[in-house]
Amino acid sequence: MQGALITVSVFYGLAVLRARDAAESARLLFYLGCQAERFARGAMARPGCRPKGKRARQLFILQGLPGIGPERADRLLTRFGSLQAIAIASVEDLATINGLGELTARRMRWALE
């Protein structure tokens, strides 16, 4: 049995789910369906904790943009004051942030548009 499971999962690329009973099988299939729906909508999990305060949440959101880490996110929020102001800022305005650069600013605009 173990050899068959290895062949199916490794050589044929089929995932094998193991459950103790019918109830656990049902829970696994339900969870699989929920995950597939989120994946189909393009939702992707982000690692790390979910911040509680407003500024911490804003910084977390900014760090989801291409090329933006904690320091750049802090500089952006300090300079523009809000996510809304950052979202409508031009490439030229974004590129004025110390250490950001035009390429990163263009990537940000691309992701925000």
DSSP state of 77: H
- Please count the residues of the chain: 113
Segment 83-111, tens digit of pLDDT? 999 999 999 999 999 989 999 999 999 99
pLDDT at 75: 95
Q: What is the pTM of this model?
A: 0.58
Ordered domains of the chain (ranges, CATH): 2-40 (no CATH), 54-112 (1.10.150.20)
Task: Kindly report the number of other CB atoms within 10 A of residue 65's CB atom.
Answer: 20
Mean pLDDT of 55-74: 91
Segment 29-58, tens digit of pLDDT? 888 888 878 777 766 666 667 778 899 999
